[in-house]
Structure 1
Amino acid sequence: MKKPCTVLIIFIMMFGVIIKTGCSDRKYISSRSSSQKITIGFSIDNLQQERWYIDKDTFVKEAEKLDADVIVNVAYNNADTQISQVKDMVAKGIDVLVIIPYDCRKAAVAVNYAKKNGVKVIAYDRLVLNADVDLYASFDNEKVGTLQANAMIKAVSKGNYVIINGPSTDYNTVMINKGIMDVLNKYIKAGQIKIVKQIVTKDWSADEASDSIAKLLKDDTHIDAIIAENDTLAAGAIDALAEYHLISSVPVVGMDADIAACQRVVEEQQLMTVYKPISKLATAAADVAVKLAKNEKITFSEKINDGKYDVPYLKIEPLAVDKENMYSTVIKDGFHTVEEVYMNVPKSQWPEDKNK
């Protein structure tokens, strides 16, 4: 008679996630010796956005705490380069590949190559389609869109909306847009809201976002609200609005809570942003990567379909951030300091530190 598995559930308070080790549907076989040091390959698509530096540094720091080495490669927005770099890391003997895919479809080539060579794979922040990764570690991206749309509806319940999406190569844009439209559809059907333009940008380009909004304004398109899928796109939109002296008239929302966006929020140039606690994601992903390398069986209660397979999903909740809760979220978490966020605001208007 087969002995039943015992599942150990570890609740890690500082992560805000539940990791279960013990039983799993996935069985891992590795030829590595228990005495060998674990090596993780971290493949990053680019370092253009501020947040990726935080992801990288936090992940590496946590992995090193767990006595693992990390090889970091940056593909600089090139799918072929990313595939080549992954193959090189596999040749160097990595135990686990953690990949932020530039192209959600082409990255499957890199994932399949790694898996065929006995390397476990974590898709980090962005899903790789049709690849059956060992884990997808990310935020609830549909909720990101829901938070953005709800905030905008509260500010502008009627009028012309523009949605600025990220690139088609990033599947997060699909999920964020779904969250947005799930909220807006009933207002569209009621005739309260009209989507005058859905813009798709390449590589999350602020310049493309700015040029697209400027063109609409030049063509006398009336815009009441702009939902930008991240803060880089929001910055581009706000630059265009500034040229037409419309910053105070057209609310803009974004995502990532980068420092410039947080400054715009408290200065009332941007309505809100969505804060994704990156340290939780990076720390949890590093912890799971080491467990995978050690062949510890891991299962998660959530799954997500990658187009072909249902893959385990480590999901972390995002938070809506506006001027009112900036201190209790982004600043309290240590993501940014009060001095950084409020540097352009008179000190008499800074929020009080309730811990003093």
Structure 2
Amino acid sequence: MFNKSKIIIGFFIGLTLLVNTACSNASLIEKSTASTNVKLTSDEKKIYVGFLLDTLKDERWYKDKALFEEHIVSLGGNVKTLAANGLDDVQIKQAELLIDEGADVLVVVPHDAEVSATIVKLAHKAGIKVISYDRLIRNAELDYYISFDNEKVGEIQATEVLNQVTKGSFAYIGGAESDNNAILFRQGAMNVLQPFIDKGEINLVYDQYTKEWEPKIAEKNMLEALKKGKNQIDAVIAANDGTAGGVIQSLSTIGLAGKIPVSGQDAELAGIHRIIEGTQTMTVYKPIPVLAAEAAEMAIKVGKGEQIDTNNKVNNGQIDVPSVLLEPVAVTKDNIVDTVIKDGYLTEEEVYK
């Protein structure tokens, strides 16, 4: 038989715990919405840099993380890196956490260019400046932007493909439309391709962005392109090495892998291996060691309130953001040693094992 007195006591204990938990959560929420301005570092005199990454799913971001953190420490600063795994709400919460911990500056690789404007607003409310790293945060009073000339990246991709074939049916497999870089890559590629399209020498049979940069989605998109082109595709501009991998997987199903040019970007090890094998034509190397070093120096200076020298301005839909734009480099089978290996980005053993 049930003991009614025990049930009643249990009910009131549960109710008390629920009320206490609710009160505790409310206090946490209240704390997270107001900057405590308490710097949670071992040395409050050091500049505290918050580094917010979109994801660590892709190989290249591990390199950015390691190099950026190494440079911040070498410059006498402290750094905490948080990755949101492609979730906007998580990235915003992570920004709030770093703000509450007293970060002097936020360096952000945004997941969504538009949504990340919220991070800038939150930081500015707490008197903290924001640097957009490699990807541009749009429609916000962004303080600085450091990246590569991403329109030029697309131009390099299209140019290298045109070095292989200048006529026929082309497909464009882009990146995530939520990433402003993907838009710039496409714009750069079209700068090169459009004159050939206008003359009727190139037929762009497929032109599609790839959600979340997912290789599996790129593979699916390429299958659609092949279906639309009746398996008669002469070249593919793929926005990065991940999408190139998906494209090449689709091409292999009909025996076209290695028979038509496919571009890439990021100089990922898998992409370099495909270039050596002959299934991928090229990749674009954006020297990450240079980007990480420049961004770290900028972050420390911004944290100290020092003057920042920039070489460009990029409009983000709201303002012309003071920017530092670095030069991307085309990598083919002929210059792997003189680019990614020479820079120490990849080792000779990794590349040629």
Mapped pair 1:222 → 2:232: yes
1:253 is paired with a residue whose SS is: coil
Cα displacement string for residues 276-318 of structure 1 (whole angstroms, at most 9, x for unaligned residues): 1001001110111001111112231311111110111111100
Q: Does residue 82 of the first structure (1) align with residue 79 of the second (2)?
A: no
Shift of 1:31: 11
- Matched-pair contact (CA < 8 Å) for 1:47–1:76: yes
Report Cα offsets for 1:169-190 as digits up to 9, x if no partner.
1000111111000000100011
Per the alignment, residue 327 of structure 2 pairs with: 317
> Quick check: 1:42–1:97 contact (8 Å CA) kept in 2?
yes
1:210 and 2:184 equivalent? no
2:61 equivalent in structure 1: 52
Which residue of structure 2 lines up, in the alignment, with residue 148 of structure 1? Answer: 157
Secondary structure of 2:139's match? coil
1:339 and 2:331 are equivalent in the alignment: no
1:33-52 maps to which residues of 2 (within 5 A)? 36-52=45-61
Task: Specify which of 110, 114, 135 is matched with residue 123 of structure 2.
Answer: 114
For residues 134 and 120 of structure 2, what CA distance do their matches in structure 1 show? 15
1:167-316 matched pairs, under 5 angstroms: 167-218=176-227, 220-316=230-326
Counterpart of 2:151 in structure 1: which amino acid?
E
C-alpha contact (below 8 Å) 2:38/2:100 kept by paired residues = no
Q: CA RMSD in A?
A: 1.6
**Structure with the bigger percentage of helix:** 2
Q: What's the CA shift for 1:230?
A: 0.3
Q: How far apart in 2 are the matches of 1:288 and 1:136?
A: 10
Paired residue for 1:27?
none
Aligned residue identity for 2:127: G
**Corresponding residue for 1:123?**
132
Q: Indicate the structure whose relative CO is greater, using CA pairs within 8 Å and at least 6 residues apart.
A: 1
8 A contact 2:177–2:209 mirrored in 1: yes
Q: Tell me the distance in 2 between the aligned counterparts of 1:146 and 1:218.
A: 27
CA distance in 2 between counterparts of 1:68 and 1:342 reads 37
Residue by residue, what CA displacement relative to the aligned partner does 1:79-108 show, whole Å, maximum 9, x if unpaired? Answer: 111111101110110000000000000000
The answer to whether the 8 A contact 1:132-1:310 is kept is no
Match of 1:327 among 314, 318, 337: 337
The runs of 5 or more residues in structure 2 that have no matched partner are 1-36
Match of 2:78 in 1: 69
- Superposition deviation, residue 215 in structure 1: 3.1
Which of the two has higher C-alpha Rg? 2
Q: Provide the rounded CA distance (Å) in 2 between the counterparts of 1:195 and 1:129.
A: 29
Return the offset for 1:163.
Answer: 0.6
Shift of residue 221, structure 1, vs aligned partner: 4.1
Q: Percent identity?
A: 43
Higher mean displacement: 274-283 or 205-214 = 205-214
Task: For residue 37 of structure 1, report the CA deviation from its aligned partner.
Answer: 1.8
Residue identity opposite 1:130 in structure 2: N
TM-score by length of 2: 0.86
Higher strand proportion (structure 1 or 2): 1
**CA distance in structure 2 between the aligned counterparts of 1:194 and 1:216, rounded to whole angstroms:** 12
Q: Give the deviation of 1:217 after TM superposition.
A: 2.7
Q: Aligned residues, how many?
A: 313
- Counterpart CA distance in 1 for 2:171 and 2:284 is 18
Q: Secondary structure at the match of 2:137?
A: coil
